[in-house]
């Protein structure tokens, strides 16, 4: 298969059949989803989110006991429980760690590598990509702003030119707005080691997210997945992409309240940022676990507009690989025909 030849670097790094990563989605990428992904040759990521230490350790241990293939644990560097989760994960025999939410420190990367883990982090622009490579990161996740959850400010089209075409020192996996195999094929041709998808895997039968959460996603259009604005630099917030609902308005009011309290000296900047992250963790749980699609956070990427059905994991993976291979064959045959015509 042409797909296999193009994806060799990614499959070798991840040690899986297909270089497709199921992104770490808080409250969504739990043990059940990780197991389903792993069973079908795709690379799973367990989401640390802001789980309490006991719950976090239990999920990690369960993955270690029940999975036969490799997997990663996603740590959100700006989450209130990040430091505790980091120390717990350091002692576990998890083969990969993904740093998300913010830029990991060099010392954090080095400590994880020292105990034998492969490290991955997100690059939201070329300066961060360059810095992370200098810090010793083993692979980059190049995620465009089309993605869901915490995002950067640059679209994937620009990042491909800024980062993918410029850096080859480490494998670069591409993410943000990807939902079909044809797109995976073209990204492999551009030099990607593989692709990360999130929303597509959230809309699988094996995903344990609340049925109302999934139904809302099935009805949503791409333009409804919007990024939250930062109202004032006095309160830095990482943009979050989610389907607009009353929860989005609640977050706006929270920012305004925190800014007033900052100006009045009633709260520290650190405490205000802590409240912002606590809001998102709680709002996301309300939507994914409890099914509150009005006030909960419906974190999804703009690829939600491309997905109109919930499928078994087997079908999702098979469709992605089949579509990618068919597209690669179509491109090859088209190029062969044009080249033959030019030389005749």
pLDDT band for 247, please (50, 70, 90 cuts).
very high
DSSP annotation of 243 reads E
- With pLDDT > 70 as the criterion, what percentage of the chain qualifies? 99
Q: Give 147-162 pLDDT, tens digit per residue.
A: 999 898 899 999 999 9
d(CA 52, CA 98): 18
Q: Give 46-87 pLDDT, tens digit per residue.
A: 999 888 999 999 999 999 999 999 999 999 998 888 999 999
Per-residue model confidence (pLDDT) at position 277: 81
Q: Give 255-285 pLDDT, tens digit per residue.
A: 999 999 999 999 998 889 888 888 888 899 9
Structure tokens at 197: 């998808």
Per-residue model confidence (pLDDT) at position 261: 94
Per-residue model confidence (pLDDT) at position 159: 96
Task: Reply yes or no on whether the pLDDT at 339 is more than 80.
Answer: no
Cβ atoms of 106 and 133 within 8 Å: the answer is no
What average pLDDT does this structure show over 15-28?
Answer: 96
Q: Shortest CA distance to 22 belongs to which of 72, 62, 60, 56? A: 72
What average pLDDT does this structure show over 88-117?
Answer: 96
Structure tokens at 201: 């895997």
Q: Shortest CA distance to 99 belongs to which of 139, 53, 146? A: 139
Q: What is the length of the chain?
A: 344
pTM: 0.93
d(CA 261, CA 139): 40
Per-residue model confidence (pLDDT) at position 343: 67
Crossing angle of helices 82-90 and 106-114, in 10° steps, is 20
pLDDT band for 134, please (50, 70, 90 cuts).
very high
All domains of the chain, ordered by start, with CATH?
2-208+311-334 (3.20.20.70), 211-288 (no CATH)
How do 96-100 and 72-76 pair as beta strands? parallel
Structure tokens at 302: 């703009």
d(CA 238, CA 233): 11
Write out the DSSP string of 10-56. Answer: HHHHHTSSS-EEE---TTTS-HHHHHHHHTTT-EEEEE-TT--HHHH
Torsion of CA 193, 196, 201, 203, to 10 degrees: -130
Write out the DSSP string of 62-120. Answer: HHHHH-SS--EEEEETTSTTHHHHHHHHHTS--SEEEEESSPPPHHHHHHHHHTT-EEE
Per-residue model confidence (pLDDT) at position 337: 80
Helices (H) and strands (E) counted in the chain, each on its own, are 14, 11
């Amino acid at each position: 298969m042409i797909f296999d030849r193009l994806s060799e670097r990614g499959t070798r790094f991840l040690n899986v059949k297909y270089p497709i990563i199921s992104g770490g989605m808080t409250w969504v990428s739990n043990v059940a989803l990780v197991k389903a992904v792993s069973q079908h040759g795709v690379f799973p990521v367990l989401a640390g989110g802001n789980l309490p230490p006991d719950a976090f350790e239990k999920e990690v241990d369960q993955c270690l006991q029940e999975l036969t293939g490799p997997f990663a644990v996603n740590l959100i560097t700006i989450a209130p429980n990040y430091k505790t989760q980091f120390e717990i994960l350091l002692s576990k025999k998890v083969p990969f760690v993904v740093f998300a939410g913010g830029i990991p420190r060099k010392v954090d990367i080095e400590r994880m590598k020292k105990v034998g883990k492969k490290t991955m982090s997100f690059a939201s622009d070329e300066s961060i990509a360059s810095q992370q490579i200098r810090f010793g990161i083993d692979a980059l996740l190049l995620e465009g702003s089309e993605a869901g959850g915490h995002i950067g400010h640059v679209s994937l089209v620009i990042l491909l030119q800024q980062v993918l075409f410029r850096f080859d020192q480490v494998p670069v996996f591409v993410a943000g707005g990807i939902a079909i195999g044809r797109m995976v094929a073209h990204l492999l041709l551009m030099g990607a080691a593989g692709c990360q998808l999130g929303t597509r895997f959230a809309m699988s039968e094996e995903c344990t997210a609340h049925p109302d959460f999934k139904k809302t996603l099935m009805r949503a259009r791409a333009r409804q997945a919007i990024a939250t604005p930062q109202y004032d630099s006095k309160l830095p917030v990482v943009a979050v992409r989610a389907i607009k609902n009353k929860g989005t308005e609640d977050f706006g009011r929270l920012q305004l309240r925190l800014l007033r309290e900052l100006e009045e000296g009633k709260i520290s900047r650190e405490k205000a940022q802590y409240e912002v992250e606590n809001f998102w963790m709680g709002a996301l749980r309300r939507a994914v676990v409890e099914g509150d699609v009005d006030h909960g956070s419906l974190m999804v990427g703009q690829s939600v507009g491309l997905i109109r059905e919930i499928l078994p994991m087997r079908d999702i993976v098979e469709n992605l690989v089949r579509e990618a291979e068919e597209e690669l064959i179509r491109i090859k045959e088209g190029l062969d025909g044009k080249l033959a015509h030019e030389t005749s």
